Chain A
């Protein structure tokens, strides 16, 4: 079955890079998403990657995908205090309707 796992907490200093990790289990053609949740709010999509890609970069965000190990990471360069939030990894098999989310990683940025 589908399962997505993340570490629960990450703390970094302002200006450093943050790396948030995720592992997934689905081996089919898969879309993998990164969402950000501000306190008390819904989720906003940050970026996504399809399972036939290895990397995607979007401004300060870099997504790396290791298909062999089913490992996904989100790197945030020059982390700012405004990046403090919960980050969710999610997967969806192409052609299906279900988005399976991980536990979320709470990122705390120290000034």
Chain B
């Protein structure tokens, strides 16, 4: 069966420090991968999605970046965190867009920038 792993579960980082959040999917090949951010009162905002290795689309211009070094690995990074980067970050995966497929979510990372 397919599983998705996200880590760390919680993270407290000072302003200006770098960030690396990792997400891996098991049990499926060539998944579509997503990074979402959930901030209070702002719902779930799509940050990046990827349909293959080195194929990444950015939805929101900001100081975050994403990389997909392997088929089932998706990394969210920042060189210098801002206070406004605080939030709950969720990784998700899906399969073929031609099918009625849901997005499957990880358990999230709570990031607090201090």
Residues of A within 8 A of B (CB): 6, 8, 31, 33, 35, 40-45, 48, 50, 88, 90, 92, 94-104
Contact = CB atoms under 8 A, between A and B. Distances in A.
B105 A42 contact: yes
A41 B41 contact: no
26 contacts: A6-B43, A31-B100, A33-B103, A40-B110, A41-B108, A42-B105, A42-B107, A43-B90, A43-B103, A43-B105, A44-B105, A88-B43, A88-B44, A90-B44, A90-B103, A95-B97, A95-B98, A96-B97, A97-B94, A99-B34, A99-B92, A101-B43, A101-B44, A102-B44, A103-B42, A104-B38
Contacts of A48: 100, 102
Contacts of A97: 32, 49, 51, 94, 97
Interface of B: 32, 34, 36, 38, 41-46, 49, 51, 59, 90, 92, 94, 97-98, 100, 102-108, 110
